[in-house]
Amino acid sequence: MRLVWKQLALLTLLSSMLAVFAGAVQATTEPSIVVDGKKLELKGGARVETVDGHVMIPIRMVTENLGFQVGWDAQNRGVSIAVGSRTINLAVGSKSALVDGVEKSLLVAPVLKNGVTGVPLRFVSEQMGMIVDWDDATKTVSVNRPAPTASDSGTVTVDDISLDERQLKITVSGKVEPKVFTMSGPERIVIDLPGTSLSPALEDRSSQKGVVSIANSSEIAGVRYALFSDSPSTVRVVMDLNSPSPYAVTRGSADEVLVELTGEPASTPGTDIPGSAAPGSGPQLPPVTQPEPPPIASGKKLIVIDPGHGGKDPGTIGITNKLEKVFNLNVALKIQKLLDHDPNMEVVFTRTDDRFIKLGDRAPVANKINADAFISIHANSVENAPSANGTESYYYEVASKSFTQIIHKHLLEATGFRDRGVKQAGWKVLRDANMVSVLLEAGFISNAAEEAKLFTDDMQQRIAQGVVNGLKEYFGFA
């Protein structure tokens, strides 16, 4: 009998040891995530977990490592994830998701654990066009962005852009069909080159704001260029004019696109297309001319300021119940005072009081008046993370990146908060804007220290001045 009890005790001890060992193995085999060949390093106690065999990733990691923009609806426990023009809406505990408004089923629902929301990595990544693989031996998830196709990356490069008196010459490496149109307030000729990218040499020059040197021109105020879009890859060249002028678009040779101011309006026999008269030889490339609204401020840069939220939409609510919409409007009105009598810039607002403006109606305010810049003002917050802090700024189109970097630099100097960087995201107001645009997140009102500072008159004045300083630097008025 004593032998039996000894055997039972030994079996119990072995079982306990096996359980401990199994737990240790489980702890060391937490799934790893590799994005584009780089293993993600988890920060701040973040954990990757599995639910019913599916890898769940904290939404903070989605933002920091996959480059997506994440929003949290505390009331409905909902998560929105956006990049480019695609948006995914998820809800904790629900196996139903909306992808660009179309309902899709999930194999596992998002979870909320210890104040951290986890979303299914495979579903989110694949819906955003990424390729996901699982290595069971190493318990590793590999997430890879698809390699760009030739058409995505631009099969033709723009090798040089130069101005000779009244003629702009764009040198390309292959066949290009330019799309040319005019805009007013101020006057400019816009040349889009679909299927192109900047050559390495020209890209290096574009880091200096993409400006072409001009010597003593009474007609042309400036020439600038940038990669306007990367899907499809499109280089945009803009001729800023001192006054409206007819122009002609021709080919100088197989690898040159010429845009020349023609002075007196002219027409080519058999055509009746404004701006298409040829000053010399070469096949004609008729421009696509868009309707021109009347200029609002001749010779001035037109800036649209968008104080986020308003009216029935309070925006995020601070740790002491202060409202984001109030902060946004206060800063905007201070910008208005600073630019009220500025000789170089005129400002227009999406709202100047506490009223509700639909999200889809904000950027069109700027588009309808052919504004030169669009700035959306916001304050940040994050659910269940009172230590989150810092200043960040967002752009969507590649053409807005340098603008965003300049505004962000001055905003950061104004707040003195931690630099969370310049990021690309598909906020609707940025997607809809036809000009350089930026969405500013000045700081976190879910952070007690930052909320207290953001709602002081001094800080709001400094932020407003920072935005104005950034505008002056970008447009060369500093």
- Active-site annotation, residues: 441
Strand order through the sheet with 220-230: 179-183, 188-194, 233-241, 220-230, 211-212
Long-range interactions of 44-51: CB distance < 8 A, separation 24+? 46/116, 49/113, 49/118, 51/108, 51/111, 51/118
399 backbone dihedrals φ, ψ, rounded to 5°: -65, -20
Q: DSSP for 445-473? A: TTSHHHHHHHTSHHHHHHHHHHHHHHHHH
Cα separation, 6 vs 2, whole angstroms: 6
Helix or strand or coil: residue 15?
Answer: helix
Distance set, CA 46 to CA 52, 65, 215, 322 (Å): 20, 13, 57, 29
Helix (H, G, I), strand (E, B) or coil at 157: strand
Please list the residues that pair with 282 across neighbouring strands. none
Give yes or no for a contact between 363 and 374, defined as CB atoms under 8 angstroms apart.
yes
In this structure, are residues 377 and 331 in contact, taking their beta carbons and an 8 Å threshold? yes
- Bridge partners, 240 (sequence order): 188, 222
